[in-house]
Amino acid sequence: MPYKCFFSYARDNADEYLETFFNDLREEIHQYTSLPPPEILFRDTRLETGDNWDERLKAGLATSDALICLVSPTYVGREFCGKEFQIFTERVEAAKVRHARFADPPPSVILPILWIPVKSDMPQSLDRLQHYNDDYPSEYKTEGLRYLLRLGKQEEYRDFLHRFVERVQQVTPPTAAALPPLDFVREFADVTSAFHVRHTPSTAPTTEQDIGGPNSVKFVFVAAKSQEIQPVKQQVQCYDSDGGWFWRPFDPPEQLTVGRVAQQVASDENLRYNEIPLDSDIVTQLQLADERKEIIVIVVDVWSIRLQTYQEVMRHYDAAGYVNCAVLIIWNEQDDETQQNLQALKDLVMITFKFRASLRHSVYFKGLIRSFEELRREIRNIVTEMKLSIITLGQAQKRIAGQSVSTPVLSVPTRNSQ
Number of domains in the chain: 2
Quote the percentage of the chain above a pLDDT of 70: 84
Query: For residues 168 and 98, is the Cβ–Cβ distance under 8 A?
Result: no
- Contact indicator for 86, 72 with CB cutoff of 8 Å: no
When pLDDT is averaged across residues 11-18 and rounded to a whole number, the result is: 89
Quickly state the pLDDT bin for 364 (edges 50, 70, 90): confident
**332: in domain:** yes
Question: Is residue 229 domain-shared with residue 323, that is, in the same domain?
Answer: yes
Q: Quick check: 18 pLDDT over 90? A: yes
156 and 237 in one domain? no
Mean pLDDT score of the chain, rounded to an integer? Answer: 82
Q: Name the pLDDT band for 37 (thresholds 50, 70, 90).
A: confident
Q: What does the pLDDT average to over 153-178?
A: 86
Q: Are residues 362 and 243 in the same domain?
A: yes
Q: Which of 98-107, 212-221, 335-344 has the highest mean pLDDT?
A: 335-344
For 34, the domain range is: 5-190
The residue ranking higher by pLDDT, 181 or 200, is 181
185 and 217 housed in the same domain:
no
Same domain, 283 and 378: yes
Contacts of 339 (CB under 8 A, 6+ apart): 333
Query: Could you tell me if 29 and 157 lie in one domain?
Result: yes
Residue 71: pLDDT band with limits 50, 70, 90: very high
Confirm whether 199 is domain-assigned.
no
Choice among 71-80, 139-148, 283-292 with the minimum mean pLDDT:
283-292
Same domain, 17 and 133: yes
Residue 222 and residue 179 share a domain: no
Burial (CB < 10 A; 0-12, 13-18, 19+), residue 225, is middle
Position 388 pLDDT exceeds 70: yes
Q: For the domain that residue 327 is a member of, what is the CATH number? A: 3.40.50
Q: Per-residue pLDDT averaged across 382-410, rounded?
A: 69
Q: pTM of the entire structure? A: 0.51
Confidence check: pLDDT of 220 > 80 = yes
Q: What is the pLDDT of residues 278-308, one digit of tens each?
A: 876 777 888 888 888 888 999 999 999 999 8
pLDDT of residue 240: 87
Q: Are residues 263 and 173 in the same domain?
A: no
CATH number at residue 20: 3.40.50.10140
pLDDT at residue 24, as a whole number = 96
Q: Does the residue 403 lie in any domain? A: no
Which pLDDT score, from 0 to 100, does residue 416 have?
A: 47
Say whether both 135 and 229 belong to one domain.
no
Same domain for 232 and 185: no
